[in-house]
Amino acid sequence: MPAPWPETANLKFAAAAKPWENWHKTVSQAFAGTYTPFYPPTNPDTNAQILIDCAKDIQVAIKAAKERKVRLRAVGSTWSLSHAPVTEGVVLDTSRLKGWIKINEGNLDPGYKGSAEKRPGLFLFQCGTLVAEVNKLLESDKWQRSLWTSGAANGQTIVGATSTGTHGSVMDFGPLHDHIVAIHLLAGPDKQFLLERASYPVLKPAFAAAIGATPLRDDDLFNAAVLSFGSMGVIHAVVIETSPRFLLRAETHAPVAIDQDLRNLIATLDPEKHPKLKGKGALNFLQVVINPHSKDAMINAMYKLKWDPSHVFDYTLKEGKIGPGYDGLSVVGEVLKLFPGLIPSFFKLAQGTIDSATKTATRGEMFGYKPPQLKVGSGSVAVALTDAVKTLDLLDALMKQHPAPLVFGCRFVKPSPALFAFTRFPTTMVVSLDGIFNDQSVAFFAKAAETLEQNNIPYTQHWGKVNSYTKARLDKAYGANVGKWLDARKQLLPDPADRAVFTNAYMEERGLAG
Amino acid sequence: MKQLRHAGLCGLLLMTAGCAQYLVVAAEPRYAGQERDRSQVSIAGGTGAAPPQIIASDCGPGEQLAIVRVTRNFGEGLLAWLTLGLYAPATVHYRCATQPQPGGGEINTSGDA
């Protein structure tokens, strides 16, 4: 009989009773079991000793996996739609680790180059903290801060979202992981680093020592680890910079014609090019959702406003928005698979649910809780803004040949220094292929990538959504960064047995398991 | 071909006709871990049940529930219909909710290099 998996007072192991599933139930995998490290159950305020103890528990789990030659993967809210967090070994469920530390002026390295505006806004968050919790805490009257950007919803953990490249569509900021300036990385069972960029030191070495980590400053190592989907160890905590608190005013325009005005807006991101946005000022956020079935579009535009002290917070999920049903999309997906001719009618019906009221809210309220939906299908292609219009024309033509219950959500992101940032162009247009998960959608995701290749359009794809990356495609998309990423992994995990623990099939299929 | 499509649609409607689904979710959900599934049978309109109730004892210390979903598939619906509701099976799915976020702290490094 194999030895039981070791536990501690706050680390529990449970053998798998059924296959692991992602949140949207589009990925399923048989696995060995789950390790769950718990924050101390009496819920004391976070301090250095709690961080040390939690890290120790995680390293007990890593050691146990290594000794048994079993793979281990840290997961957050399991929101990824790709197989990036999937393992047949042990899942490390980080969802209970939500501690946080306010970085004070005394913690800052004399070499910290952050502006006076940034200095009071640094926070350390443990890996399991939800983006919802980060927003609510930052935006409170006590701290009066905001994230510059976030994904469309808030249910991901801060490390889960950043490790897979979650992005928003903010005109002057990169993806979510660009908030991160320090990473507490557990690199195997007995090493831990506080990783920073050498070009951007933030914390005194004494801070690293206080949480039991070795300070390590290296641009390539940081830029590799910050987007590594669990491949370089376990990211126990991250330190982020934040913005002074602000509000957003959101306008939705729908339906909007797919005409030359819209093409000009997408090609230039200049709001003056579109009559709906003209004269309204600089955009903070822009999303254009193109419905290839109804041949019209929706524009979501947001404008940054100064803080209003009379603002009343409301983060709650609203009852009226629960619907058409928790997994209604799976039934609809099956119907549309049988009757692809119904796809345009379905989208016409869905269009009626669009809320076009103008809204003023914090980022956390705006990109808040969403009705839980299963069987959501989402893939993506990301291209340079200069290729944006041509890409959309190609996708539209592809949809005519291979109808799928998807729309094209166009988001625009500034570049990131992360080695595997798929937002790597001077301005990237990420086309999120969103809709219902069925065979038609999966086929369309693959054909979208093939179509861009056939037309010689350089592209990348979202790590956390259904993607068609292969080793050859990664080499083409990321060039020398692939080698740098692999080298970084070897430096952070020099023992091949440690690298084996943090390997999964997703990496092997993409030539990243070295 | 048209007849085949109609037959397919009818089959699909038949398969879903006995199905039901009810969802309760916290207003600010803090989902924890994987969804748990438990079969539950309501006997004689709820005057009896097997098991009598579901205790979410597999949640962590101090944890409540974030979401509860009750589903009834075609087979379960058929059984309930055939027994006039005397024997009404369903499946209960739930996710635990993590404890609220703890208070934050600071780390004193002043005086260090």
CB pairs under 8 A between A and B: 135
Mean pLDDT, all residues of chain A: 93
Alpha helix positions (H), chain B: 2-17, 74-82
Instruction: Give the length of chain A.
Output: 514
pLDDT exceeds cutoff 60 at B13: no
Minimum-distance CB partner of B60 among A38, A98, A100: A38
Q: Which residue has the tokens 């039934």?
A: A331
pLDDT exceeds cutoff 70 at B6: no
In a domain, B110, yes or no: no
pLDDT exceeds cutoff 70 at A229: yes
Among residues A213, A244, A275, which one ends one of the domains?
A244
In this prediction, residues A387-399 reach a mean pLDDT of 98
Report residue A93 CA to chain centroid gap.
17
Place A29 in a pLDDT band, splitting at 50, 70 and 90: very high
Q: How far apart are CA A169 and CA A316, in angstroms?
A: 23
Torsion sign, CA atoms A74, A429, A246, A177: positive
In this prediction, residues B67-83 reach a mean pLDDT of 91
Contact: B32, A99; criterion CB under 8 Å: no
In this prediction, residues B78-90 reach a mean pLDDT of 91
Residues A25 and A110 in one domain: no
Query: Given the DSSP bridges, would you call strands A90-93 and A123-126 parallel, antiparallel or unpaired?
Result: unpaired
Kindly state the percentage of chain A with pLDDT values over 70: 94
Residues A240 and A251 in one domain: no
Q: How far apart are CA A20 and CA A139, in angstroms?
A: 34
- From A103's Cα to the closest Cα of chain B, the distance in A is 7
Residues A205 and A239 in one domain: yes
Q: How far apart are CA A212 and CA A244, in angstroms?
A: 31
Among all residues of chain B, which has the CA nearest to that of A44? B102
In a domain, A124, yes or no: yes
In a domain, A169, yes or no: yes
In a domain, B108, yes or no: no
Residues A159 and A59 in one domain: no
pLDDT at B113: 41
End-to-end CA distance of chain A: 32
Q: Which residue has the tokens 């933030």?
A: A202
In a domain, B107, yes or no: no
Alpha helix positions (H), A39-190: 48-67, 131-139, 158-163
pLDDT at A188: 98
In a domain, B61, yes or no: yes
Q: ∠ CA(A261), CA(A341), CA(A323), 5° rounding? A: 80
pLDDT exceeds cutoff 70 at A2: yes
Q: How far apart are CA A168 and CA A149, in angstroms?
A: 6
Q: Which amino acid is at B105?
A: G
Those residues whose C-beta lies under 8 Å from the C-beta of residue A353, and which sit 6 or more positions away, are none
Phi, psi of A241 (to 5 degrees): -95, 155
In a domain, A394, yes or no: yes
pLDDT exceeds cutoff 50 at B68: yes
pLDDT at A135: 97
Residues A208 and A335 in one domain: no
Residues A167 and A38 in one domain: no
Domain containing residue B48: 18-97
Structure tokens at A325: 């049903």
- From A126's Cα to the closest Cα of chain B, the distance in A is 10
A49 and chain B in contact, CB less than 8 A? no
pLDDT exceeds cutoff 80 at A390: yes
Place B8 in a pLDDT band, splitting at 50, 70 and 90: low
pLDDT exceeds cutoff 50 at A391: yes
pLDDT exceeds cutoff 80 at B91: yes
Residues A214 and A107 in one domain: yes
Residues A82 and A198 in one domain: no
Buried-exposed string A277-305: b where 16+ CB fall within 10 A, e elsewhere: beeeeebbbbbbbbbbbbebbbbbbbbbe
pLDDT exceeds cutoff 50 at A336: yes
Residues A189 and A337 in one domain: no
**Which residues in B lie closer than 8 A to residue A93 (C-beta atoms)?**
32-34
pLDDT exceeds cutoff 90 at B61: no
pLDDT exceeds cutoff 70 at A344: yes
In a domain, A476, yes or no: no
Domain containing residue A46: 11-93
Residues A47 and A87 in one domain: yes
Residues A189 and A284 in one domain: no
Q: Looking at the 3D structure of chain A, how many domains does it have?
A: 3
Mutate to test the interface with B, among A38, A57, A79 (most CBs of B within 10 A): A38
In a domain, A209, yes or no: yes
In a domain, A486, yes or no: no
In a domain, B69, yes or no: yes
Identify the top-confidence range among A296-310, A356-370, B43-57.
Answer: A296-310
pLDDT digit string (tens) for A450-468?
Answer: 999 999 999 999 999 999 9
pLDDT at A68: 97
pLDDT at A294: 84
In this prediction, residues A51-63 reach a mean pLDDT of 98
Instruction: Give the length of chain B.
Output: 113
In a domain, B7, yes or no: no
Contact: B34, A315; criterion CB under 8 Å: no
- The model's pTM: 0.94
**Which residues in B lie closer than 8 A to residue A95 (C-beta atoms)?**
31-33, 98
Q: Looking at the 3D structure of chain B, how many domains does it have?
A: 1
Q: CA nearest A112: which of A199, A41, A42, A194? A: A199
Structure tokens at B22: 């009810």
Those residues whose C-beta lies under 8 Å from the C-beta of residue A142, and which sit 6 or more positions away, are none
Minimum-distance CB partner of A104 among B29, B99, B106: B106
Mutate to test the interface with B, among A125, A338, A365, A375 (most CBs of B within 10 A): A338
In this prediction, residues A291-314 reach a mean pLDDT of 94
No. of helices (H) and no. of strands (E), chain B: 2, 5
pLDDT at B4: 60
Residue A67 sits in a domain whose CATH number is 3.30.43
A39 and chain B in contact, CB less than 8 A? yes
Kindly state the percentage of chain B with pLDDT values over 90: 48
Among all residues of chain B, which has the CA nearest to that of A16? B34
Contact: A41, B33; criterion CB under 8 Å: no
Residues A324 and A455 in one domain: yes
CB A186 within 8 A of CB A58: yes
In this prediction, residues A200-211 reach a mean pLDDT of 98
3-state secondary structure of A472: helix
In a domain, A203, yes or no: yes
B28 and chain A in contact, CB less than 8 A? yes
